Amino acid sequence: MTTAPTLPRWSLAVPPLALLILVLAYGRDLGTVLIVLVCLGLGGAVTAAVHHAEIVAHRVGEPFGTLILAIAVTVIEVALIVTLMASGGEKASSLARDTVFAAIMITTNGIVGIALLVGALRHRVQEFRAHASGGALAVITALVTLSLVLPTFTESTSGPTFSGAQLAFAGVASLVLYGVFVFVQTVRHRDYFLPKDNASDDEHAAAPANRTALLSLGLLLVCLVAVVGLAKTVSPTLESAVESLGAPVSFVGVLIALLVLLPETVAAVRASLRNRLQVSLNLALGSALASIGLTIPAIAVASIWLTGPLTLGLGAKELVLLVLTVLVSTLTLVTGRATLLQGTVHLTVFSAFLFLAVTP
């Protein structure tokens, strides 16, 4: 009889330690010692988050595991965005747009690209379900167009903004589309989002007990709070470093998004190395969907009490990158097979996004 797995001691100790580091460092000027502690806490929290996400995923099965990780990260990130926007300031007007766009570029090009690349280096050719990933891309395209492209061209208000009614429509449409996608992914056509070769070592191993899975779920949430909080804590140091390099301050938002999305990135790479590319795509595209589908409704509600303009429309450079991303992603996902070439193309587009973020 196979014994159900238990949690290793390090995975129990790291989340509360990371949270303790967050409490000690939050709101303070970071000296050398605190910076080192914050970086160690951030790395430990990311590693523990991926471990606990895999425990939960093994217990509930795919695609619920990847969905839980994507939604948990996004909910905490949305709470951070709304909190920062409520603090006011000129920079806050475009915070939601910059964060969501950065998340889309990171997930659809960065995470997808590195997952395709490492998977191809180990397995040469990997297969996935084109109808599942293609459907996710269609929803992403619709959401980002309705939420971030249309404000640039609407005429009811001046600048790349929505009127109150337009913002309400975008929020409701985002929530409906995301809700329908989650229903299709988890209920109506769940089998579409399972790996094509569903047999793996994970499936043959004994599933964790309910108590273990619930403990991992709680520790996962603690880890994600620590990741987002520590990323925010280190942002002033990042901002100083970015300014010393002569890069625009908006690049700090990209760096924070990279840090916040580290758990998904590590989990996607590990899944690809195990020849489970569909899990990697579920993570990447699911994170992009959650970022738009939850952020836009949240700021639509928050706009009731937030003051000042809310800039949502993308600029010309961002629109070009978005169109290129949709075209490349379509050509990648329509085949159902991935090689080294597709991974290199996506990472090249991602590199262009990072380069232009530093030198606009």
Choose one of 233, 257, 288: the last residue of a domain.
Answer: 233
Question: 180 lies in a domain?
Answer: yes
Q: Is position 67 within any domain?
A: no
What is the reported pLDDT for 87?
A: 59
Contact 312, 151 (CB under 8 A): yes
Are 110 and 146 in a shared domain? Answer: yes
Residues 233-260 have pLDDT tens digits of: 877 777 777 778 777 767 777 877 787 7
Residue 355's CB: how many other CB atoms inside 10 A? 10
- Residue 246, number of CB atoms within 10 A of its CB: 8
Looking at the structure, do residues 225 and 281 belong to the same domain, yes or no? no
pLDDT tens sequence across 118-174: 999 999 899 888 888 899 999 999 999 999 999 999 988 888 988 889 999 999 999
Contact of 89 with 249, CB cutoff 8 Å: no
Domain boundary among 211, 233, 255: 233
* Contact in structure between 220 and 53 (CB atoms under 8 Å): yes
Same domain for 108 and 13, yes or no, is no
Which of 181, 210, 233 lies at the terminal end of a domain, its last residue?
Answer: 233
Residue 186 and residue 114 share a domain: yes
Q: Quote the tokens at residue 94.
A: 């475009």
Instruction: Report how far residue 213's alpha carbon sits from residue 211's, in angstroms, rounded to the nearest whole number.
Output: 5
Q: Is residue 184, in this structure, part of any structural domain at all?
A: yes
Query: What's the number of domains the chain is made of?
Result: 2
Distance CA 216, CA 349 (A): 35
3-class DSSP state of 76:
helix
The rounded mean pLDDT for the chain is 83
Residue 92 — very low, low, confident or very high, per pLDDT cuts 50/70/90? Answer: low
Of the listed ranges 88-102, 107-121, 328-342, the least confidently predicted one is 88-102
Both 44 and 163 in one domain: the answer is: no
89-103, 189-203, 212-226, 335-349, range with the lowest pLDDT: 189-203
Please report the sign of the dihedral spanned by the C-alpha atoms of residue 128, residue 129, residue 131, residue 132: negative
Query: Do 135 and 251 fall within a single domain?
Result: yes
Task: Evaluate whether residue 163 is within a structural domain.
Answer: yes
Q: Is the residue at 74 inside a domain?
A: no
- 50 domain-assigned: yes
Q: Which residue type is seen at 244?
A: S
Asked if residues 162 and 151 have their Cβ atoms less than 8 Å apart, the reply is yes
Residues contacting 134, CB < 8 A, separation 6+: 330, 333, 334
209 lies in the same domain as 185: no
Alpha-carbon span 95 to 43, nearest angstrom: 25
Q: Are residues 95 and 13 in the same domain?
A: no
CA 95 to chain centre: 16
The more confident residue out of 93 and 220 is 220
285 and 350 share one domain: yes
Query: Is 324 exposed, middle or buried (CB count within 10 Å of its CB: 0-12, 13-18, 19+)?
Result: middle
Q: Are residues 172 and 220 in the same domain?
A: no
- Residue 255 belongs to domain with CATH number: 1.20.1420.30
Domain match, 1 and 13 both = yes
pLDDT digits 0-9 by tens, 28-65? 777 778 888 888 888 888 788 878 877 887 777 767 77
Say how far apart CA 74 and CA 228 lie, in whole Å: 10
Range of the domain at 224: 1-60+201-233
Rg (CA), the chain: 20
Please tell me the predicted confidence (pLDDT) of residue 254. 82
Res 88: pLDDT: 56
38 with 185, same domain: the answer is: no
Structure tokens at 28: 């303070």
For residue 73, is it within any domain? no
Q: Which residues pair with 109 in a beta bridge?
A: none
- Spatial distance between the Cα atoms of 151 and 349, rounded to a whole number of angstroms: 24
Token code pair at residue 8: 């290793």
Domain for residue 81, yes or no?
no
Mean per-residue pLDDT, 267-294: 89
